[in-house]
Amino acid sequence: MAKICVIGSSSMDLVVTSSRRPGAGETVLGDSFKTVPGGKGANQAVAAARLGADVTMIGRVGDDAFGTAILNNFKANAVNTQNVKPVTHMESGTAHIVLAEGDNSIVVVEAANREVTPAYVDEAAEVIQRADIVLIQQEIPEETVVRVSEICAQSGTPLLLNPAPARKVPDEVIDKAAYITPNEHEAEILFQGMTPAEALRKYPNKLFITEGSNGVRYFDGEREIVVPTYKVEPVDTTGAGDTFNAAFAVALAEGKPLQESIRFANRAASLSVTKFGAQGGMPMRSEVEESLK
Ligand SMILES: Nc1ncnc2c1ncn2[C@@H]1O[C@H](COP(=O)(O)OP(=O)(O)OP(=O)(O)O)[C@@H](O)[C@H]1O
Ligand SMILES: [K+]
């Protein structure tokens, strides 16, 4: 079983639907409210576990009811939570989402996710060193991403950096990462002053730009390759990127060749867009294998 360590955010999404969004100082009546576990780190951990990996999450929750719910959701998805420690006197990360007028407005409160510090990951260094692959995103402090890249480099553990949400990544992290998976918008911010083609050439077999329904683009050392994704009827693309990254990590950790790993990840991600919600659409291993036949 592939051992995957995911380092990142966990949160509770508080989702309200309303026919209209309130302006400043205004109150409107909403139609519905629900809470759903989210956060890019948590989403990717859950996706990897559903795809059959042995997943350990390194993250933090608050000492509130959301923290308990987030931990229960990890357990329900067979994610190891030994390194998801509650922060005392702090709230869990939350995303406050209003779905109205055909678009969303979101306020994110990082809270406990800010406590995924370099010192905190140092305490779990052994988990990182023992993993077949480490998967990280950018909803935690930048200095933590730097520290994880150092631990991975020292122990020779491959690091997959999903540079989302978009922010500039220190050169040392780009150097130390084995795989980097921005979407097109994130790639622009990461490689300012370079065209996508130039960036891909600079990082052969390391930079993989995801292009939504188009698939994934990379440079193999000789030429640019697009691995097309699968045609589906999209219902909700939320979580496509998270599913792609988790599935790519699982396939690589299992030793699958590069193109086969991308195809597996495209297949998993394309299945995820046929269902509502981020985690709601993440497929089980058997579904992916069945649909690859
Ligand atoms: N409409 C689609 N049909 C099939 N596959 C898709 C579709 N949208 C996304 N995917 C798959 O998911 C991968 C990631 O999608 P995308 O490049 O949009 O990333 P993203 O912007 O991080 O996604 P999101 O933020 O919506 O989760 C794609 O490379 C592809 O494999
Ligand atoms: K979805």
CATH number at residue 49: 3.40.1190.20
Annotated binding-site residues for substrate read 11-13, 39-43, 139, 242
Residue 239 falls within a domain, yes or no?
Answer: yes
Please tell me the predicted confidence (pLDDT) of residue 275. 95
Residue 31 falls within a domain, yes or no?
Answer: no
Please tell me whether the overall predicted TM-score, pTM, comes out greater than 0.90 for this model: yes
Residue 214 falls within a domain, yes or no?
Answer: yes
Please tell me the predicted confidence (pLDDT) of residue 286. 98
For residues 106 and 96, the answer to whether their CB atoms sit within 8 Å is yes
Q: Report the nearest atom of ligand 1 relative to the CA of 211.
A: 17
Q: Report the nearest atom of ligand 1 relative to the CA of 234.
A: 1
Please tell me the predicted confidence (pLDDT) of residue 293. 92
Interval between CA 163 and ligand 2 midpoint (Å)? 20
Domain around 201: 42-58+113-292
Q: What is the set of active-site residues?
A: 242
Q: How many domains does the chain have?
A: 1
Residue nearest to atom 18 of ligand 1 (CA): 212
Annotate the chain with three-state secondary structure. Answer: CCEEEEECCCEEEEEEEECCCCCCCCCCCCCEEEEEEECHHHHHHHHHHHCCCEEEEEEEEECCHHHHHHHHHHHHCCCEEEEEEEECCCCCEEEEEEEECCEEEEEEECHHHHHCCHHHHHHCHHHHHHCCEEEECCCCCHHHHHHHHHHHHHHCCCEEECCCCCCCCCHHHHHHCCEECCEHHHHHHHCCCCCHHHHHHHCCCCECEECHHHCEEEECCCCEEEECCCCCCCCCCCCHHHHHHHHHHHHHHCCCCHHHHHHHHHHHHHHHCCCCCCHHHCCCHHHHHHHHC
Annotated binding-site residues for ATP read 183, 210-215, 241-242, 266
Residue 272 falls within a domain, yes or no?
Answer: yes
Please tell me the predicted confidence (pLDDT) of residue 259. 98
Please tell me the predicted confidence (pLDDT) of residue 200. 98
CA distances from 67 to 47, 85, 229 (A): 19, 9, 36
The pick from 210, 248, 274 for probing ligand 1's pocket by mutation, whose C-beta has the most ligand atoms within 8 angstroms, reads 210
Residue 170 falls within a domain, yes or no?
Answer: yes
Please tell me the predicted confidence (pLDDT) of residue 140. 98
Ligand lying nearest the CA atom of residue 214: 1
Please tell me the predicted confidence (pLDDT) of residue 176. 98
Residue 154 falls within a domain, yes or no?
Answer: yes
Interval between CA 59 and ligand 1 midpoint (Å)? 25
Segments of the chain scoring below 50 in pLDDT? none
| CA-closest candidate to residue 2, choices 42, 43, 56, 39 | 56
Please tell me the predicted confidence (pLDDT) of residue 18. 97
Please tell me the predicted confidence (pLDDT) of residue 162. 98
Distance CA 4, CA 80 (A): 10
Interval between CA 270 and ligand 2 midpoint (Å)? 9
Residue 174 falls within a domain, yes or no?
Answer: yes
Residue-wise pLDDT tens digits, 23-54: 999 999 999 999 999 999 999 999 999 999 99
For residues 160 and 178, the answer to whether their CB atoms sit within 8 Å is yes
Please tell me the predicted confidence (pLDDT) of residue 217. 98
Distance CA 2, CA 195 (A): 35
Please tell me the predicted confidence (pLDDT) of residue 196. 97
Residue 12 falls within a domain, yes or no?
Answer: no
Distance CA 148, CA 156 (A): 12
Please tell me the predicted confidence (pLDDT) of residue 39. 97
Please tell me the predicted confidence (pLDDT) of residue 62. 98
Ligand lying nearest the CA atom of residue 226: 1
For residues 42 and 65, the answer to whether their CB atoms sit within 8 Å is no
